[in-house]
Chains A and B, each alone.
Chain A
Amino acid sequence: MPQGKLSLSKVKRAIQRYGLAFLSVAIAFAAAQLLAACGFRGVEFPLFLIAIAVTVWYAGTWPAIVAIVLSGLAFDYYFTEPIHSLYITRAEVPYYVMFILFSSLLTWFSSVRRRVERELLQSRDALQKEVLVRTHQASLLNLTHDTIIVRDMSEVITYWNRGAEELYGWTAEQAVGKQAQQLLGTVFPAPIDEIKAELLRTGRWEGELQKTKADGTRVIVASRWSLQRNEQGQPIAVLDINNDITQRKRGELEIRQLNQELGKRTTELETINKELEAFAYSISHDLRAPLRHMVGYTELLQKNASSILDDKGRRYTLMILESAKRMGTLIDDLLAFSRIGRAETRETMVSLGQLVREVQSEVAQETGGRNITWRIGKLPDLYGDRSMLKVALVNLVSNAVKFTRTRPQPEIEIGCTDKPDDGLVVFVKDNGVGFDMKYVHKLFGVFQRLHRAEEFEGTGIGLATVQRIIRRHGGQVWAEGLVGSGATFYLSLPKP
């Protein structure tokens, strides 16, 4: 109960104050009586005044008034004629008026004096508090990593925080009082007059400045200036906050250089790409023409001159035809391969199940009525270039068909496993002739073949094409195999 406590202490304090009034008057009365008994007369008046003075000094105005009343009554009753009576003779009236006036004056002076003293104490306390807060704030400024400098209008440093000391290397004692721009060797991005004009006009300025540390190294700082004005509006000081951005500027410079280099490389690559395109075009057009002529004339030879050719001659023409056709296939495959690298991908949602069915019916022509067991698992939809993905699947499935040719019971399985890290993983598995894992690294290279041409035909571009397509989709290809036990090819594709 703080309220009750408060009023209790108030009552206690009132009792003390009024008690003092009674006590001091009582002591003055006792002293006056004692002195009167000893034959001293006329001292009671100043004695009561002393009691009133003590009361007003220590207990305040109201107890003093009580003391005045008490003193007046005691004086009248005990010390003026007729004694032991409150009767006041006419001749005594001025005497009492004087007493009351004098004691009132004493009370008034004393209370004024007390009030002034109290106010003085209060303002001293407030000042002390203010000093404490300010000191605390100043020490906070010292804590910041930012560099804070205050300089007056003639550029002389008046404040230098610890951040400034850490950045530039001079202590506050060394820096304060020095000319700022001279000490720091500041290099401005614009004429100093323009900067100062802006500062005076807007009260602010910010920009990047070069400065020199105490050890002579150069730093680039982001500098923010704020102008302080006095009550008359005249500028008196500049608050200057600096951040060291040397590292950042260096980084920016590096990034700019790298970007320039990248731009140059891109242009170079674009040129190379264009050259490659022209090259591919040239192959497409010019290389096929002589081949067509070789085939054409050889066939004409076969048709028109077969009667004069012997068996050997006929075999030779057959070999020429076969080789030329093989070269035709090679050129076509190579062109298709290079086109995948050059063409832009057109990505849509692709139903993998639908795509596999299409591929199956396309490849069915190659199976030549063989009894292949197909096992097609549940296949998802994914996001990709439909025609490219089809090329990849055709390559994988026709490989599976090709390499199971020697099996009495060929089996081909196509499915999908869902791995959280790899996205979707599609696999094509066969029980064909397989391959030796020793050569797995060669499997996806251009023109790399793991079988002799007379065993299994092929140009060695198919799997390279598959890899290129899947990589363009942001996926990976890999394979597992065992000689005589089949092979499994995996494609990982990002989930839609």
Chain B
Amino acid sequence: MSAIGRILLVEDDPRDTELTMTALEEYHLTNEVVVARDGEEALDYLYCRGKFQTRTCDNPAVLLLDLKLPKIDGLEVLQQIKSDKNLKIIPVVVLTSSREESDMVASYKLGVNAYVVKPVDFHEFVNAIKELGVFWAIINEPPPGSIKRK
């Protein structure tokens, strides 16, 4: 796994990961994406521990977070990030299948920067991912201490 990456995608479903990557490919952003397959791995990456011990410990420019994850779920990851003084500046976008109001409210209460429901329609999905990638990885100026663009 590449140690560099400006987008941290936390997604347990390899198919969703593949489709997301396909969407990002168009803007040549795939090299910038690091995938964590559960909440624990995401936190390991952010805290530079476990198998990410050796990486240069900069924050990603954006974190795309699924809510339903094995081990530690998305809301817990979000809570952890937003209560850590070094991590809480990372923009977090929840990217989920859940349209449930309770999830949305909980995410915003924890300080999420955006909440995106994955559309069933593939075109819409691709557009959403593209826009997210373009906005957060290219347009948006990330907070200081984030990994620099290659």
A binding-site residues for B, Cβ under 8 Å: 280-281, 284-286, 288-289, 291-293, 295-300, 324-325, 328, 332, 335, 339, 343
Residues of A within 8 A of B22 (CB): 296, 300
Instruction: State whether B98 touches A289 (Cβ < 8 A).
Output: no
B binding-site residues for A, Cβ under 8 Å: 13, 15-16, 19, 22, 67-68, 96-101, 118-123, 125
Instruction: State whether B97 touches A296 (Cβ < 8 A).
Output: no
Instruction: State whether B97 touches A328 (Cβ < 8 A).
Output: no
Closest B residue to A343 using CB positions: B101
Report how far A343 CA is from B98 CA in the complex, Å: 16
Residues of A within 8 A of B121 (CB): 295, 325, 328
Residues of B within 8 A of A291 (CB): 120
A289 touches which of B97, B101, B123 (Cβ 8 Å)? B97
Residues of A within 8 A of B67 (CB): 285
Instruction: State whether A288 touches B123 (Cβ < 8 A).
Output: no
- A-B pairs with beta carbons under 8 Å apart, 21 shown: A281-B98, A284-B99, A284-B100, A285-B67, A288-B118, A289-B13, A289-B15, A289-B16, A292-B16, A292-B120, A292-B125, A293-B13, A293-B15, A293-B16, A295-B120, A296-B125, A297-B15, A299-B122, A300-B22, A300-B122, A332-B99
Give the distance to chain B from A125, nearest Cβ to Cβ, in Å.
91
Residues of A within 8 A of B122 (CB): 292, 295-296, 298-300
Give the distance to chain B from A378, nearest Cβ to Cβ, in Å.
35
Nearest first, the 6 closest Cβ-Cβ pairs linking A and B are A328-B120, A299-B122, A296-B19, A293-B15, A296-B122, A288-B97
Report how far A324 CA is from B100 CA in the complex, Å: 21
Residues of B within 8 A of A284 (CB): 97-100
Given contacts A288-B120, A299-B122, contact A293 B96 (CB under 8 A): no
With most chain A CB atoms within 10 A of its CB, the pick from B98, B101, B120 is B120
Give the distance to chain A from B115, nearest Cβ to Cβ, in Å.
14
Closest B residue to A327 using CB positions: B120
Closest A residue to B15 using CB positions: A293
Instruction: State whether A325 touches B68 (Cβ < 8 A).
Output: no
Give the distance to chain A from B69, nearest Cβ to Cβ, in Å.
11
Report how far A41 CA is from B31 CA in the complex, Å: 173
A324 touches which of B68, B99, B118, B120 (Cβ 8 Å)? B120
Give the distance to chain B from A328, nearest Cβ to Cβ, in Å.
4
Residues of A within 8 A of B15 (CB): 289, 293, 296-297
Report how far A295 CA is from B100 CA in the complex, Å: 22
Report how far A325 CA is from B124 CA in the complex, Å: 12
Report how far A467 CA is from B16 CA in the complex, Å: 37
Instruction: State whether B100 touches A293 (Cβ < 8 A).
Output: no
Instruction: State whether A285 touches B16 (Cβ < 8 A).
Output: no
Report how far A91 CA is from B125 CA in the complex, Å: 160
Instruction: State whether B118 touches A292 (Cβ < 8 A).
Output: yes
Report how far A458 CA is from B13 CA in the complex, Å: 31
Report how far A280 CA is from B102 CA in the complex, Å: 12
Instruction: State whether B100 touches A281 (Cβ < 8 A).
Output: yes
Besides A285-B98, A292-B118, A325-B121, 4 new A-B residue pairs in contact (Cβ under 8 A), listed by A number: A285-B68, A292-B16, A300-B22, A300-B122
Instruction: State whether B99 touches A335 (Cβ < 8 A).
Output: yes
With most chain B CB atoms within 10 A of its CB, the pick from A288, A296, A298 is A296
With most chain B CB atoms within 10 A of its CB, the pick from A286, A289, A298 is A289
Report how far A213 CA is from B101 CA in the complex, Å: 65
Give the distance to chain A from B127, nearest Cβ to Cβ, in Å.
12
Report how far A298 CA is from B16 CA in the complex, Å: 14
Report how far A289 CA is from B123 CA in the complex, Å: 15
Residues of A within 8 A of B101 (CB): 339, 343
Residues of A within 8 A of B16 (CB): 289, 292-293
With most chain A CB atoms within 10 A of its CB, the pick from B16, B97, B119, B123 is B97
Residues of B within 8 A of A324 (CB): 120
Report how far A299 CA is from B120 CA in the complex, Å: 12
Instruction: State whether A325 touches B99 (Cβ < 8 A).
Output: no
Give the distance to chain A from B1, nearest Cβ to Cβ, in Å.
23
Report how far A41 CA is from B101 CA in the complex, Å: 140
Report how far A293 CA is from B122 CA in the complex, Å: 8
Give the distance to chain A from B133, nearest Cβ to Cβ, in Å.
16
Residues of A within 8 A of B96 (CB): 285
Report how far A289 CA is from B18 CA in the complex, Å: 13
